[in-house]
A and B are shown apart, each in its own frame.
Chain A
Amino acid sequence: MKTKIMKNVLLASTIPLLSLGSINGFAATELSLWYHGAGNPVEAKIIDQIVGDFNASQSNWKVALQSFPQESYNDSVIAAALAGNLPDILDVDGPVMPNWAWAGYLQPLNINSAAIEDFLPGTKGYWDGQLYSLGLWDAAVAMITRKSTLVEANIRIPTLAQPWTLTEFNAALATLKQTGKYDYPFDPGLAWKGEWFPYAFSPFLQSFGGDIIDRESYQTAEGVLNGDEAIAFGEWWQMLFQKGYSPGNSQDSADRETGLVEGKYAIQWNGNWTALNMLKAFGDDVLFLPAPDFGHGPKIGAASWQFGVSASTSYPQGAADFIQFATQDRYMTAFSDAIGLIPPTKTAAAASEHYRQGAPMATFFELSAQQAVLRPVTPGYVVAAKVFEKALADIADGADVVDTLDNAADEINQDIRRNLGYGH
């Protein structure tokens, strides 16, 4: 038994040696690439193809892909960075990028800004005036429901030009609740913890007129996260749960996934990535509607995963070449067709199955182009996002709105101070 184990240990430790040897046979320099798509076969296929095509297209660089499960991707990267073990190219969630750039994990991306001029704003990661990351897609969120649901309840179908107002939306929820047909009229999706909260709900706060942090200075949350507008948002948010309009923090993630299709919910706040399923379930009846206008215009979150170049690489040009190669229309279209993501350019969208003019999900492209707002572009976002998430969860559970927002603002401010202003 023991000798067998030893044999396996020896075997296993020689494998990397052998593979290293074989790579050295080529003249190409190896570039390591980290990606968050482990466990997703469809995504893996496309990214594998991009890597394969790139390696075949030139002889200077050879990209080697290492995939990570998304749930723990950020932890893996931070641990690797602490240990001085980052790859050459890595993907990064848009709002986290400034944090990694500020911390010195990423270096500016050497891609001509003219080449990416027509990309959707949410796909371009700028920090401190420089481009650090670039995405192959954006994501957008919409109010997903069925035409028949609204028509039956006599609720106006909103448009991009004329979204629901706050009063209209509240009235719609009350009406839907009264029908008694649904467990909850509106599912914002509290089952999804973490980044979903700021991504999906901070645009609501912005539409009310508040924000997570003051974007003029990026030095304080006072007055924006706990000002009158924010308090109005908080009270509205709490009302959703108190009146039984929305399922709270203990929502089952399975319900989140199936609740709309099964008719437990009437309206769901959900992303374009579920749109394919909804189309399959409801066909023509499905509606992807813009966010309500809570007073300062309808808003949704922007920015998804993007590629960047690590600060420690010796080959920034090769890394940038790969990223530029990957952001070709055909790959962006391929991602879009396969998993329903929004292509960053008009041309890629026009070529795509779901987003070309008149296609059922074209709304999302327009939503993304017209209403999308970035989450605060600051290294402090990572902490602010956590604080925001907890505040919203607590308010949904019935905590005092004013005190909770005050405490959240205090905590964010304290964190900014402790980080000497995060380099703004």
Chain B
Amino acid sequence: MSHSSVDHHRLRLVVRYTLLSLIALMFIFPLVFMLVSSLKPDHQLLADTASLRAFLPVGDISLSNYDKAFERAPIFLFMFNSLLVTAVTVVLSLLLCSMAGFSFVYLNWRGKQLAFSIILATLIVPFETIAIPMLLMVSKLPWLGLEGLTWGWLNTYRVQIVPFIADGLTIFLFTQYFKDLPRELIEAARVEGSSWWQVYWRIVMPLSGPVIATAAILKFLVMYNQYLWPIMVTQQEQYRPVLVGLQYFFQLNTAWGEVMAYLTLITMPVLAFYLVLQRAFIASIASTGVKG
């Protein structure tokens, strides 16, 4: 009997892994296509889309598309710009949005209802629809920097960062998560005389690993994939991000191999970011035993 239960267990494992793998196949095939295509010369790449060869690194395989892509555009510059803008925005966003979320869930203040309603309402405003008024505005905003007071934010990093630090979704994400945290911990800390900042920084944030990871990933994706806004506000190559760089590859006769190489290159940092966060994410699961 114990023998058959071991068999049964094994069978279930096989079924599970098969299911997991089949689903995995569904999610990964376009990306395999992208990676494999980046190694092929254009004529072969296009001919191969008609068969399973599209997913196999066969035929005339080389890295020459990558060489040519680097010649066509300053790829490292674009990646540096995107990563810089993204990193600064993510860090500031996590801080300010979690603070706001904390305030909405744990603190009582006049105007809170209204403020929260406004934040929820902003979720309905797609960025595309306010881009022009925003452009008119940022082109006249003041800034106090090393050079003293200047007017107009065009062609800077800050114009790509500051408008996107706070958003309704991230704040909402934090409020939904904070609501599930045990209130007793906070009330106990307050009774012991902790300030609200201490409660936020020492108790609530350390418990918020999963939501921080989720919010960070979301923000990272949004920022790394910025496109419309940088086109409007960066007239100098020096500040352009990766998706504007993608435009360099769509010429009259598009070199698809180079496009695929570029896509592969710009996808790597995001994937790496997720894999790193996933580990943090898993680690934080272990610490959630306190909740309930």
Contacts and interface: CB of A to CB of B under 8 A. Distances in A.
B88 interface: yes
Interface string A46-88: 0000000000000000000011111110011001101111010
Interface stretch (A7-15, A164-172, A360-368): A7-15
A254 B257 CA distance: 11
Contacts of B250: 39, 69, 71
Interface in B104-125: none
Interface in B226-259: 231-233, 235-238, 244, 247-254, 256
Interface stretch (B28-36, B144-152, B208-216, B276-284): B144-152
A79 B254 contact: no
Contacts of B249: 39
B180 interface: no
Contact of B73 (A39, A253, A257): A39
Nearest to B81: A12
Given A83-B152, A258-B46, A5 B139 contact: no
Nearest to B46: A254
B231 A80 contact: no
A312 to B, nearest CB: 13
A341 to B, nearest CB: 11
Contacts of A15: 238
Contact of A82 (B43, B139, B237): B139
A45 to B, nearest CB: 12
B244 A72 contact: yes
Nearest to A261: B43
Nearest to A78: B232
B161 to A, nearest CB: 9
Nearest to A83: B139
Interface residues of B, number: 39
Contact of A69 (B139, B156, B247): B247
Contact of A39 (B46, B132, B147, B251): B251
Given A13-B145, A79-B135, A72 B154 contact: no
Contacts of B88: 5, 9
A383 interface: no
A40 interface: yes
Label chain A's interface by main secondary structure: helix
B128 interface: no
A2 B132 CA distance: 32
Interface size class of A (residues with CB under 8 A): 35 or more
Given A38-B248, A39-B249, A84-B139, A75 B73 contact: no
A102 interface: no
Contacts of A34: 235
B231 A79 contact: yes
A381 B135 CA distance: 25
B236 A274 contact: no
Contacts of B91: 2
A8 B84 contact: yes
A18 interface: no
B71 interface: yes
Contacts of A274: 252-253
B163 to A, nearest CB: 14
B72 interface: yes
Given A2-B91, A274-B253, A85 B157 contact: no
B268 interface: no
B251 A70 contact: yes
Contacts of A236: none
Interface string A259-280: 0000000000000011001000
Given A38-B237, A257-B253, A83 B136 contact: yes
B154 A12 contact: no
A17 interface: yes
Contact of B232 (A75, A84, A87, A257): A75
A308 to B, nearest CB: 17
Interface of B: 43, 46, 71-73, 84, 87-88, 91, 132, 135-136, 138-139, 145-147, 152, 154-157, 231-233, 235-238, 244, 247-254, 256
Given A39-B72, A39-B249, 9 more contacts: A13-B146, A41-B72, A69-B244, A76-B231, A76-B232, A83-B154, A83-B233, A87-B235, A258-B43
22 contacts: A5-B84, A13-B157, A14-B146, A16-B238, A34-B235, A38-B247, A41-B71, A66-B235, A69-B248, A70-B247, A70-B251, A76-B231, A76-B232, A82-B136, A82-B139, A83-B135, A83-B138, A83-B139, A83-B152, A85-B152, A258-B46, A274-B253
When A and B form their complex, which 10 residue pairs have the shortest distance between CB atoms, in order from nearest?
Answer: A39-B248, A69-B247, A83-B139, A79-B232, A71-B247, A72-B231, A254-B46, A69-B248, A71-B250, A257-B253
